[in-house]
Amino acid sequence: MPRLALVVLLVAASAAVVLARLGILGADGGVAAVPPGPAYYPAVPSLAGDVSPARRRFIRRVDGTCVRTYNDGQAAQAAYAQRVAGRADAQALVTRFYVRWHTGQYRAVRTLGEPSEARLAYRRWLDNMGERVRLEARYAPLMRAGRAAEAQAVAQQVSTLKARGDVLGQRFGLRLCTSNGPGRRPVQG
C-alpha cells in the first residue's frame, strides 16, 4: 500500500474514533443523528449539600440553559448532518457545526453571570467548560492538517475534562449540566 494511502487510512480511522468520542458519530460510523422526540439526561445528584434559595434559583437557571441549548444544538446538528450527509467532508462539517453550537452553549451559560455564593466552585466548573470549548475548536484544524494523533489527544483531553467538569458542577449543585458526560446515556421522553 502506498505511504500516502496508509496515512489517509490512518487519519480516517483516527477521525472516526475521535468523532465517536465527541458524540458526533453514531455506533455504525455514520454521522450521529438525534433520535426523534425530546431526549434528556436524567438528573444526577447534587454534591453541594444545603444551598440557599438564591443559589438554588441560580442552579435552576444554569441547568435550564444547559438543557435548552443542548437540545437545540443537538436538533440543529442532526438536521445539518442530514443536509451534508452525502458530502465527502460531512464528518468535518458536522464537527465544526458541533463546536459552534457548543461554543454558543458556553456563551449562553456565561451570560447568566455569577452566583451569589460559591463563586469559586461555579467558576471552576465554568472554566472547565471554557477549556473544553477551546480544545474542541482545535480538533478539526488538526484533522484537516493530517495530524490525527494530535487530534485524538485533544479529544481525549476533552473527554477527561468533561468527566472532571461533571464532578465540579455537581459540587456546585448542578444536576443537569453535569448529566451527559462519559458513561451517561440519554433517556427518550
For the chain, the first-to-last Cα distance in angstroms comes to: 48
Q: Is 32 helix (H, G, I), strand (E, B) or coil?
A: coil
Res 156 pLDDT > 90: yes
CA 34 to chain centre: 14
What's the average model confidence in pLDDT over 93-98? 95
Three cell numbers, residue 178: 453535569
Report yes or no: 18 and 152 within 8 Å, Cβ to Cβ.
Answer: yes
pLDDT tens across 6-24, in order?
333 333 444 444 444 444 4
The residue type at 113 = G
Query: Among residues 24, 71, 53, which one has the least CA distance to residue 177?
Result: 71
| pLDDT score of 184 | 64
Contact 125, 172 (CB under 8 A): yes
Q: Which amino acid is at 80?
A: Y
Kindly give the residue spans of alpha helices, DSSP state H, lying in the chain.
Answer: 3-22, 53-84, 90-110, 119-144, 148-172
Please tell me the distance from the alpha carbon of residue 94 to that of residue 80, in angstroms, as a whole number.
7
Is the pTM above the cut of 0.95? no
Residues 18-59 have pLDDT tens digits of 444 444 444 444 444 434 445 556 788 889 999 999 999 999
